Amino acid sequence: MGTTQLESVQEPKYWHLKTVLSEALDSEFSVGEILPNERDLAARFGVARATLRQALEQLELEGRLQRRRGVGTTVAPPREGVSLGTGPQAWPGGPEDAWQPADCTAAVPPAGVADALETGRDETVHIVRRSRVSHGRPVAAELLYIPRSSVPELSGIDAPSGAARARAVLRELQRLELERQENAVELGSAGAEEAKELDRLPGAPVLVVTTRFIALGRTAALSVATYRADTCRLTFGDPGGVEIHAGIQRQAS
Amino acid sequence: MGTTQLESVQEPKYWHLKTVLSEALDSEFSVGEILPNERDLAARFGVARATLRQALEQLELEGRLQRRRGVGTTVAPPREGVSLGTGPQAWPGGPEDAWQPADCTAAVPPAGVADALETGRDETVHIVRRSRVSHGRPVAAELLYIPRSSVPELSGIDAPSGAARARAVLRELQRLELERQENAVELGSAGAEEAKELDRLPGAPVLVVTTRFIALGRTAALSVATYRADTCRLTFGDPGGVEIHAGIQRQAS
DNA sequence: TAGTGGTCTAGACCACTGA
DNA sequence: CAGTGGTCTAGACCACTAG
C-alpha cells in the first residue's frame, strides 16, 4: 500500500470506490448505521454521483448495504440463512413449513408451467400464493401451481378463494404420496407484484427457486418461489452446525 | 392495450423499455442474433443511452442477453441446468465429478474459512483450485479448502503444486468416510480473478455455492464455488425428467 | 482503424419518507 | 416540508475486438 502503484492498470473508479467503502464498512461502521447521503459521499470522494452510485449498487447486490428512498443508506446485517426443504422431501403446507398461505385462485397458468404440469394450455389450475416471513421481514413470495387432478377430493363447497381455500388445497395435497422433488435456483429480477410483496423496488435481484413435486410418476405441483437476493442465503442439505457466511469467506484473499 | 392508460402511474422509462425489448426478443430475434448497437437503439427509442443501458443490464441479469465489449449485444440461449451433487453425498474429485482440478497450493485461508474448518487462523491448508466447463464454456470456478489433518497420508514427495498435486490431495480425501454435506447458495459478484476465469468483467453477478463436507464430526473440507449467474440455473435434488425453465414460466401472468 | 460496449461527468427533476 | 435515493439527459473518453 506504500505506493499508488502503476498496477492501477485501469481499475475503474467505481471498483476502487467499492473496495474503499467495503473496508470502511468493516472497520468504521456497525450494522444499521446510516451512511452519509450520496451527494456528500460523492463529493467526499471527488466523483460524480452516478459513479458513487455504481459502487453502492454493487455493495447492495452483495448484501452489505441497504438503500431506501426517502430514508438513506444503511449498513445491512449479515445475510440470513433460509432453509429450503429441511427434510429431503415434503409437501408444501406440511408440518414445519415456513410458508404462510395468503390466497388461492383458479386460473390458466403460463405456458411453461402448463407444460411442466402436463395440463392443457387452456386448463385452469389452483394457484396458491404464499409468503415467507423471517424476523418480521418478508423474505420470499411463492406461486404454487396445483392441477385439479392432484386434489380430486377438494370439496367445491369450501371457500371459493382466500387463505381458507389455500389451506384446504394444501391439506388435500398431503394425501398424495410424494415420490421425489426437483429443485432449481437461478437469478432473476422482481416483477412489480413480487417487488411489493418483498418490500423492494421492481427489478430488484431475486433468487428464483423452482420446485417440482412428483407423485405417481407425474408432476403433482410446481412451486416458483422468489427470495430477496440481498438478504437471503439459501441453505439446503442436512442442517445443523455453525452457520457459515460465504460473504465473509470471500473477503480479501 | 387500446389506450395508453393513465395506469402508467409512473412506470420508469427503462422498465417500459425492458418490457418492449423483452417482447421483441421473443418474437423478432433468434438465439445468437446481434442486436443493433446501444447508440442506435437509444436513438430509436428516443432515450438517452444510459437509460437504454439500464434496460439492457436488467435483461442481461435475467439471462436474456449477452453483451461483450468490442463485439456487441447478442440474444442469449436459455439458461443451462447445472447439477449440484447428483447423488446426495459425494466427495469432490470422485467419479462423475464435473470439475477439473487446475492447481493446488498451501496457504493461510481467510479467517471465515479457518473458523469453519476449525483450524488456527495462522494455519496453512491445502487450497485446490478447480474449474467447471460446460459446452466448452467456463461456468464456475471453485476454491476448495482442505485442512492438512484431512489428508494425513499425503506424501510430501508428490508434486509441490499444480494439477498433479491437486489430484493427489483429492485422492487422499476419498479415504475419509463422508458423513454429510451442507450447502448454501447466495448472490455475489465476481472478483478480478474469478471474472477472468469465468470470462466476464469484474463485478459480474455470480451464484456463490458454499459446501461444507463433514466427516468424523468435523468439517473435513470447505468448497466455495462461484457460478456465472447469467448462464447457469443450479439444479439439485433428484434429477431426471424434462427440464423446466423458470425464466419462461415467469413471463407474462 | 472503425465500431462496440464500459466508464464517467455535471447537471436536472421526480417519488418517497419522516418530522 | 426538507432530505433522501431513483430516474434521466447529453454529452465525453476509454478499452476492447475484429477486419
Question: Strand C positions with any atom < 7 Å from protein CB?
Answer: 2-12, 14-18
CB contact under 8 A, A186 and B241: no
Helix (H, G, I), strand (E, B) or coil at A158: coil
What are the C-alpha distances in Å from B165 to residues A200, B109, B158, B220?
Answer: 47, 18, 6, 18
User: What pLDDT, on a 0 to 100 scale, did the predictor assign at position B157?
Assistant: 59
The span from the CA of B191 to the CA of B186, in Å, is 15
User: What pLDDT, on a 0 to 100 scale, did the predictor assign at position A155?
Assistant: 66
The span from the CA of A92 to the CA of A131, in Å, is 12
**Which residue has the closest alpha carbon to C17 C1'?**
A70
pLDDT-derived band at B5 (thresholds 50, 70, 90) equals very low
What is the DSSP pairing of strand B232-237 with strand B80-83? parallel
Instruction: Give φ, ψ of B223 to 5 degrees.
Output: -115, 135
CA–C1' gap, B72 and C2, in angstroms: 14
Q: Closest to B188 (Cβ–Cβ): which among A15, A88, A250?
A: A250
User: What pLDDT, on a 0 to 100 scale, did the predictor assign at position A23?
Assistant: 95
Q: How far apart are the first and last CA of chain B?
A: 15
User: What pLDDT, on a 0 to 100 scale, did the predictor assign at position A238?
Assistant: 58
Given a contact cutoff of 8 angstroms between Cβ atoms, the answer to whether B238 and A180 are in contact is yes
User: What pLDDT, on a 0 to 100 scale, did the predictor assign at position A36?
Assistant: 97
**Strand D within 7 A of B13 CB:** yes
Query: Which chain B residues touch A251 with a CB distance below 8 Å?
Result: 110, 112
Q: Determine how many CB atoms are found less than 10 A away from the CB of residue B75.
A: 19
**Strand D within 7 A of A65 CB:** no
Q: Closest to B62 (Cβ–Cβ): which among A62, A111, A189?
A: A189
User: What pLDDT, on a 0 to 100 scale, did the predictor assign at position B155?
Assistant: 66
The C-alpha of B147 sits at a distance from chain A's nearest C-alpha, in angstroms, of 15
Residue with cell 510430501: B156
CA–C1' gap, A10 and D13, in angstroms: 14
Residues 6+ apart with CB under 8 A from B110: A248, A249, A250, A251, A252, A253
CA–C1' gap, B163 and D15, in angstroms: 33
The span from the CA of A126 to the CA of B30, in Å, is 34
DSSP structural state of residue A9? S
Q: Which of residues 22-61 of B touch strand C (CB under 7 A)?
A: 35, 37-40, 49-50, 53, 56
Given a contact cutoff of 8 angstroms between Cβ atoms, the answer to whether B225 and B142 are in contact is yes
What are the C-alpha distances in Å from A114 to residues A150, A152, A220, B147?
Answer: 14, 18, 12, 48
Residues 6+ apart with CB under 8 A from B50: none
**Strand C within 7 A of A192 CB:** no
What are the C-alpha distances in Å from B117 to residues A165, A190, B88?
Answer: 48, 36, 22
Question: Strand D positions with any atom < 7 Å from protein CB?
Answer: 2-12, 14-18
**Strand D within 7 A of A203 CB:** yes
Question: pLDDT (tens digit, 9 = 90+) per residue, B76-93?
Answer: 999 989 998 655 568 888
Which amino acid belongs to residue A70? G
Taking the alpha carbons of B186, B189, B193, B197 in that order, is the dihedral positive or negative?
positive
In the predicted model, what is the mean pLDDT of chain B?
86
**Which residue has the closest alpha carbon to C6 C1'?**
B69
The span from the CA of A227 to the CA of B248, in Å, is 18
Check pLDDT > 60 for residue B209. yes
Check pLDDT > 80 for residue B37. yes
Question: pLDDT (tens digit, 9 = 90+) per residue, B86-123?
Answer: 555 688 888 778 899 999 999 999 988 999 999 988 99
**Strand D within 7 A of B192 CB:** no
Which amino acid belongs to residue A119? T
User: What pLDDT, on a 0 to 100 scale, did the predictor assign at position A10?
Assistant: 75
A·B CB contacts under 8 A = 176
B54-74 in b/e form (b: 16+ CB < 10 A) is bbbbbbbbbbbbbbeeeeebb
Q: Which of A65-69, A153-157, B5-9, B138-142 is least confident?
A: B5-9
Rounded to an integer, the average pLDDT of B50-54 is 98
The C-alpha of B195 sits at a distance from chain A's nearest C-alpha, in angstroms, of 13
Give the residue on A whose Cα is nearest the Cα of B78.
A186
CB contact under 8 A, B112 and A241: no
Q: Sort residue A45 into left (φ over 0), alpha (ψ -120 to 50) or beta.
A: alpha
Mean pLDDT by 10 residues, chain A (253 residues): 43 96 94 96 97 97 96 95 74 84 93 91 94 90 94 71 88 89 94 92 95 92 96 77 47 40
DSSP letter string over A46-84?
Answer: TS-HHHHHHHHHHHHHTTSEEEETTTEEEEPPPPEEEES
pLDDT-derived band at B159 (thresholds 50, 70, 90) equals low
The span from the CA of B185 to the CA of B203, in Å, is 18
Give the residue on A whose Cα is nearest the Cα of B238.
A182
**Strand C within 7 A of B69 CB:** yes
Given a contact cutoff of 8 angstroms between Cβ atoms, the answer to whether A82 and A227 are in contact is yes
User: What pLDDT, on a 0 to 100 scale, did the predictor assign at position B2?
Assistant: 32
Beta-bridge mates of residue B218:
B215
CA–C1' gap, A22 and C4, in angstroms: 32
With CA of A69 and C1' of each nucleotide, the nearest comes out as D5
Per the structure block, which three cell numbers stand in for A36? 452519509
Give the residue on B whose Cα is nearest the Cα of A143.
B250
